[in-house]
Amino acid sequence: MKKITLFFFVPLLLAGCSGNEKTIDVYDVFDDAEKSVEVRDVLNSNEDIYSGTAIFADNDLLVAVQAKPWLDYKKGKIEEELTKQLEDRFSDYNVLVSADYKLYWEANKLINEEDQQKVTDEVKKLKDLEKEET
């Protein structure tokens, strides 16, 4: 009986763990579709992340990503790689890439915000928070 139960539940467990679709959200104050596609391409090309949020506000580009759980030790390197790629493509923006979950969470809250000035102000606050060392 145990073998039959194991036979049915192991495939279900493995199927539940196989979801590897990335979620990439981009918010652009100026609604420039070309920039959104370009950021999505950069984030989708990186195999070490599973989710990301990018926000364009004034001259700032804030990108918050989540690394795969077993790659926590590699977060700094992922941030450096993405920063370099995004600075090459968006040289006229101040780029900040972070793998910090708090920043990711706050950036996701801003995705649904309709007030562009509030988004701009919050991005500046988040950039200041990222620079703080505790």
Parse the chain into domains and list their residue ranges: 21-129
Amino acid letter, 57: A
Tokens of 11: 């495939």
Q: pLDDT tens-digit profile of 37-48?
A: 999 999 999 888
- Cβ atoms of 46 and 83 closer than 8 Å: no
21-129 maps to which CATH number?
Answer: 3.30.300
Q: Per the confidence metrics, is the pTM higher than 0.95?
A: no
Confidence (pLDDT) at 6: 46
Mapping DSSP onto H, E and C, the string for 17-65 reads CCCCCCEEEEEECCCCHHHHHHHHHHHHHCCCEEEEEEEEECCEEEEEE
Query: Could you read off the pLDDT of 114-128 as tens digits, one per residue?
Result: 888 888 888 888 888
Residue 32: predicted pLDDT: 78
